[in-house]
C-alpha cells in the first residue's frame, strides 16, 4: 500500500519535509542550475498538484510550539 501512495503522491516519502521539496522545486523552475543535479530527474516529471494532504508551509513547520496557557504567565 505504501508503494501505491508513493505512486499517487511522489512526496509521500519525504514526510514532514514536503515543504522543502516544494521550495527546491520553485528554485528549480526559476533556475535549474541553483538546485543540485541529483534533483533534476525527480523534478523532470514532478507535478506539485498531484499530492493530496500537503505538509504545512515552512513558516508553520518550523514554528516553536505554543506553551500551555497555565505556563504562559504567572498568576
Q: Residue 4 pLDDT more than 60?
A: no
Concatenating the DSSP letter of every residue in 17-75 gives GHHHHHHHHHHHHH-GGGS-GGGHHHHHT--GGG-SSPPPPHHHHTPPPPPPHHHHS--
Average pLDDT over residues 18-46: 92
Kindly report, residue by residue over 53-67, the tens digit of the pLDDT: 444 444 444 444 444
Least confident range from 2-11, 40-49, 64-73: namely 64-73
Distance CA 24, CA 42 (A): 11
Choice between 1 and 47, residue whose per-residue pLDDT is larger: 47
Amino acid at each position: 500500500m505504501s508503494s501505491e501512495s508513493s505512486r499517487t503522491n511522489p512526496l509521500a516519502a519525504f514526510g514532514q519535509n514536503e515543504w522543502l521539496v516544494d521550495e527546491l522545486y520553485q528554485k528549480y523552475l526559476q533556475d535549474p542550475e541553483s538546485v543540485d543535479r541529483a534533483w533534476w530527474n525527480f523534478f523532470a516529471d514532478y507535478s506539485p498538484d498531484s499530492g493530496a494532504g500537503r505538509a504545512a508551509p515552512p513558516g508553520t513547520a518550523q514554528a516553536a510550539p505554543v506553551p500551555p496557557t497555565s505556563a504562559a504567565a504567572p498568576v
